[in-house]
Structure 1
Amino acid sequence: MEVQWMNHTGFVVSDIERSLAFYRDLLGLSIERDQVLEGDFISEVVGYPDARLRIVYLGAGDQRHSVELIQYLNPAGDAVALPQRHQVGATHLGIIVDDLDAFYADLSAKGVRFVNPPATRPNPVYPAASKGCYMQDPDGNWLELLERGPAPPDATSV
């Protein structure tokens, strides 16, 4: 028995079109799958009778890991206060970017909520990040943007 790979990270969202404008249009992720799921199987998986969900998977085009956006159409979800970053149950998705300063400047100008400008780590050792910052999606889900230097020739980690 073994874990084969990490497939996706899911976020329940209030408005999938608004979330697509963020993840697809602002972050540049590509839609991998967009579907409405209903019927016995999905009802059993999520534990709600007569469940109906719109699910969109987005990725960076490498098929390694996806962001799954889920909007519950039935039962409709209510907004709740999300935990603060330090509280048990808080979650975040880490995203490696090529130029964190450029992402920060562009997304800040477009109204994205950041906790901080990019912080720089002195003397990072690959694969550790050299820069990082936290931001939120439209529903308040946390994303950690990270930048790291190029991999050394003998690196075995991605």
Structure 2
Amino acid sequence: MMEHHVGFAVLDLNKIIHFYQDILGFSVLDLGIREGKEAGAPLGLPYVKYKILRAMPPKGDFFIQLIQFLDPKPKQLPTRGHTDLGFNHVGIEVDHIEQIYHKLQSHHIPTESPPIVMKESGVQLLYTRDPEGNILEFVEFPRERKRELERLRQSV
């Protein structure tokens, strides 16, 4: 098995498209509307109508699905914290974490801290949230770790 995609249900697809495409540089793969019994069946619903966007990060081995449910209407849940049980965050590998940090800062998007270098591994981490509160972790590996990871990926 391997990762394929991560899906987020969102309230405002237009606002979230701007964040992922214009600020983070994701490429939009497709955007559409799904509706009817067939669209609802995999979700265990008799009927559903939603807008869906699929987008891939610049260094993409997976994509994200952003879904705005139109019918039935979604219920707003409290924003999850880092230590809450269940789904926690999406990790995205990047090459230039400092550039991402500065871009987020220039758009007044808060981060948990500046990029942090983990002493033991040399990995740099940066956490932020998208406009709807979903936690994103950006990860930059040092060169030697990148080569090691690439060998592991090819051997699987």
Candidates 15, 30, 34, aligned match of 2:31: 34
3-state DSSP class of the match of 1:20?
A: helix
How far apart, CA to CA, are the structure 2 residues paired with 1:110 and 1:31?
A: 20
Structure 1: segments with no counterpart, 5+ residues: none
Q: Provide the residue aligned with 1:130 in structure 2.
A: 123
Distance 1:72 1:123, change over 3 A: same
Equivalent pairs, count: 151
Q: Provide the residue aligned with 2:151 in structure 1.
A: 156
* Cα displacement string for residues 111-145 of structure 1 (whole angstroms, at most 9, x for unaligned residues): 11211111112252xxxx62002100000000001
**Is contact 1:130–1:146 with CA below 8 Å preserved after alignment?**
yes
Distance 1:8 1:18, change over 3 A: same
TM-score between both structures, scaled by the size of structure 1: 0.86
How far apart, CA to CA, are the structure 1 residues paired with 2:73 and 2:28?
A: 23
Distance 1:156 1:66, change over 3 A: same
- State the identity as a percent: 26
Deviation of 1:64 (Å):
2.5
TM-score between both structures, scaled by the size of structure 2: 0.87
* Cα displacement string for residues 62-100 of structure 1 (whole angstroms, at most 9, x for unaligned residues): 762001101001112132212211110242110111111
3-state DSSP class of the match of 1:88?
A: coil
Would you identify which runs of 4 or more consecutive aligned residues in structure 1 move more than 4 Å? Answer: none
Q: Provide the residue aligned with 1:92 in structure 2.
A: 89
Structure 2: segments with no counterpart, 5+ residues: none
The structure with the greater share of residues assigned to helix is 2
* Pairwise CA RMSD: 2.0
